[in-house]
Every structure is written in C-alpha cells, then in structure tokens.
C-alpha cells in the first residue's frame, strides 16, 4: 500500500531542493532534485525555479515550500539572508499561480526542519520543549512543545551580549572569521545559554550543514540543556515542507501553516 505523500521544496541561499516524501515515514520517495538558487533570488526567479523542480518531478499535487523568512498567512515578512524584495510578497499566491493554482503552503525554513526532526528525527521520542536551531548563513529556530510548533520564532536575531546571536554563532561566522571549532563552540555556548535561560528547553537539536561535523563541536558545548545533532540533515526542510501540505496535525492547522 502506498502511504500518503507530499512534495516539499526547500529554498536556500545556494540551492533550491525538492522531493516527493512519504509522509508516514518521512523518507524521500525519489531522489531530491536540486537547482542552484538564481541570483538575484527575487520572488519571480525563485518561483520559476520551484516550478521547474516540481515539473521535473512530474508532481501535480499540493506543494510545501520553505523560505528563510518569517511567513504569516503566506506572506513573507522578513528577508534577512535573501533578496529584500521578498518582504511583503504574498509568497503563497505567487507560488500557487506559478504552479497552476494548486494548493501551496509556505513556511519558515527552520520551522519546516523542526517539524520534520520532531516527527521523524532527533526529537521523535522527546517529551517536552524541543528547540531546533539551524546553523548556516544565519541561525534559524523552531520551538516545539509535544509536537506543536510555535511558528516564526527568530532566535537568531536575539541580541546576546550586544550582538545578534547569528552574528556570533552562525556557521558562516566561523568561516568568515576563520574560527577554530573550539573558538566557535564558545560562541555557540554563549548563545545557547541565553536561549536556555529564556526558554528552558528539554532538548536542543543542532541542524544545518555543520551538524554533520557535530563530533568536532557539540562535545565542547557547556550548556545545561542536552544538545544533539539533527538526524535528517539535508532533507529536514524538504520533509517538513511536505508534511505541512497534507499530513498536517490539528495543531499545525491551528498555527495556520496548513492549507
Ligand atoms: C532568518 C530566519 C531563518 C534563518 C535560517 C535567519 O536569518 O531570519 O527566518 O529561518 O535565517 O535560514
């Protein structure tokens, strides 16, 4: 028997990736399709790329799409690391029109990753408050409580000792400043201390590309909250976006991210 399926597209700074997902297992049904993010990554250019990915996959059902933005009622509200013309764009209407009028859900990239990790990955058996953080160009965040997402938290922009958290501890900062894992882990500790003092989570899940090298830095963190690496790695955004389309739990509907 074929389980429920959904199509997810993850819009990132360097690549736009999409795949058909089995919503009961969180596994990709087919290999993901990746196209370089157009530059500039304007809404129209990104919509054209998303449409190409969905057409290549031959999928005609609903599509979930992530953006590295706050997204309320389908409208992108911020654009910290993407083209500023996204701000105020009705992303849901734009993608729906580009995709022939089908059902479209648009949500924050870290929220999508958080939904996927909580359902199928590192947060699967965890009771309580789970905070997923993605370390990349910026820091994305998702807060879940018993599987319920509080959408659009932007912990990466919280000021920590006079600087935005993501300007201290995004993985791009490690690269730009040539920090060692030890130096960078000290910044991550500082940022997570602030987050844990405010939120008292039961678990932090560390995502983003640098979570693949978790053995080099997670053991160096000095936080009271356990920190574990993300389990789904580069598929979390796709899986979470796909989840948001079809298999939305009643709680996801309440958050307004489901169709
Ligand atoms: C954005 C978030 C996004 C994160 C990861 C931050 O700069 O403000 O919305 O989730 O980067 O892409």
Concatenated DSSP letters of the chain = ----EEEEEEE-SSEEEEEEEETTTTEESS--EEEEPPSS--HHHHHHHHHHHHHHHT--S-EEEEESS-EETTEE---SSS-GGGTT-BHHHHHHHHTTT--EEEEEHHHHHHHHHHHHSTTTT--SEEEEEEESSSEEEEEEETTEEETT--GGGSEETTEEHHHHHSHHHHHHHT--HHHHHHHHHHHHHHHHHHH--SEEEEESGGGGGGGGTGGG---SS-EEE-SSGGGHHHHHHHHHHSS--HHHHHHT---
Q: Are 123 and 144 in contact (CB under 8 A)?
A: yes
Say what percent of the chain tops pLDDT 70: 94
Pocket mutation for ligand 1, best pick of 11, 69, 70, 110 (most atoms within 8 Å of C-beta): 110
* The residue to which tokens 């922009």 are assigned: 157
Pocket mutation for ligand 1, best pick of 140, 143, 150, 169 (most atoms within 8 Å of C-beta): 140
Q: Tell how far the Cα of 196 is from the centroid of ligand 1, in angstroms.
A: 19
- Per the structure, how many domains does the chain have? 2
The closest residue, in CA terms, to atom 8 on ligand 1 is 80
pLDDT of residue 234: 85
- Report if residue 116 sits inside a domain: no
Distance CA 186, CA 200 (A): 20
Whether 48 and 138 map to the same domain: the answer is: no
- Report if residue 118 sits inside a domain: no
Distance CA 128, CA 205 (A): 13
CATH number at residue 60: 3.30.420.40
Confirm or reject: Cβ of 156 under 6 Å from ligand 1. Answer: yes
Please state the rounded mean pLDDT for residues 127-146.
96
Whether 225 and 130 map to the same domain: the answer is: yes
Whether 204 and 250 map to the same domain: the answer is: no
Confirm or reject: Cβ of 140 under 6 Å from ligand 1. Answer: yes
Q: Please give the residue range of the domain that contains residue 59.
A: 5-111+235-255
Q: Which ligand 1 atom is the nearest neighbour of the CA of 81?
A: 7
Confidence of residue 255 (pLDDT cuts 50, 70, 90): very low
Distance CA 126, CA 124 (A): 6
47-74 residue pLDDT tens: 999 999 999 999 999 999 999 999 999 9
| Residues paired with 150 in a beta bridge | 143
Confidence of residue 2 (pLDDT cuts 50, 70, 90): low
Triad 186, 143, 28: Cα angle to 5°: 100
Is the pLDDT reported for residue 250 higher than 70? no
Range 87-94 contact pairs with CB under 8 angstroms and sequence separation of 24 or more: 89/43, 91/43, 91/65, 91/67, 94/43, 94/44, 94/47
Q: Tell how far the Cα of 106 is from the centroid of ligand 1, in angstroms.
A: 14
Confirm or reject: Cβ of 138 under 6 Å from ligand 1. Answer: yes
Please state the rounded mean pLDDT for residues 170-180.
98
Whether 152 and 140 map to the same domain: the answer is: yes
Pocket mutation for ligand 1, best pick of 82, 138, 191, 237 (most atoms within 8 Å of C-beta): 138
111-128 residue pLDDT tens: 999 999 999 999 999 989
pTM: predicted TM-score of the whole model, two decimal places: 0.94
Distance CA 134, CA 154 (A): 11
Confirm or reject: Cβ of 81 under 6 Å from ligand 1. Answer: yes
Whether 23 and 92 map to the same domain: the answer is: yes
Q: Tell how far the Cα of 2 is from the centroid of ligand 1, in angstroms.
A: 35
């Amino acid at each position: 028997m074929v389980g429920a399926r959904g199509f997810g597209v993850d819009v990132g700074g360097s690549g736009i990736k999409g795949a058909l997902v089995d919503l009961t297992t969180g596994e990709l049904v087919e290999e993901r399709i990746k196209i370089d993010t157009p530059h500039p990554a304007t809404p129209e250019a990104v919509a054209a790329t998303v449409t190409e990915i969905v057409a290549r996959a031959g999928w005609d059902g609903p599509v979930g799409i992530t953006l590295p933005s706050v997204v309320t009622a389908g409208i992108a509200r911020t654009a910290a690391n993407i083209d500023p013309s996204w701000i105020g764009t009705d992303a849901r209407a734009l993608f729906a029109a580009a995709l022939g009028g089908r059902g479209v859900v648009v949500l924050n990239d870290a929220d999508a990753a958080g939904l996927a990790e909580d359902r199928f990955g590192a947060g699967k058996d965890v009771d309580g408050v789970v905070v997923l953080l993605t370390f990349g160009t910026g820091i994305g965040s998702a807060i879940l409580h018993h599987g319920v997402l509080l959408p659009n938290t932007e912990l990466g922009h919280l000021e920590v000792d006079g600087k935005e958290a993501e300007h201290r501890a995004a993985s791009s900062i490690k690269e730009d400043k040539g920090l060692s894992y030890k130096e960078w882990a000290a910044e991550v500790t500082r940022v997570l201390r602030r987050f844990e003092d405010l939120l008292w989570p039961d678990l932090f899940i560390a995502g983003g590309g640098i979570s693949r090298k978790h053995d080099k830095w997670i053991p160096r963190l000095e936080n009271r909250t356990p920190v574990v690496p993300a389990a789904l790695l580069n598929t979390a955004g796709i899986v979470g976006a796909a989840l948001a389309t079809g298999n939305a739990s009643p709680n996801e509907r309440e958050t307004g991210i489901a169709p």
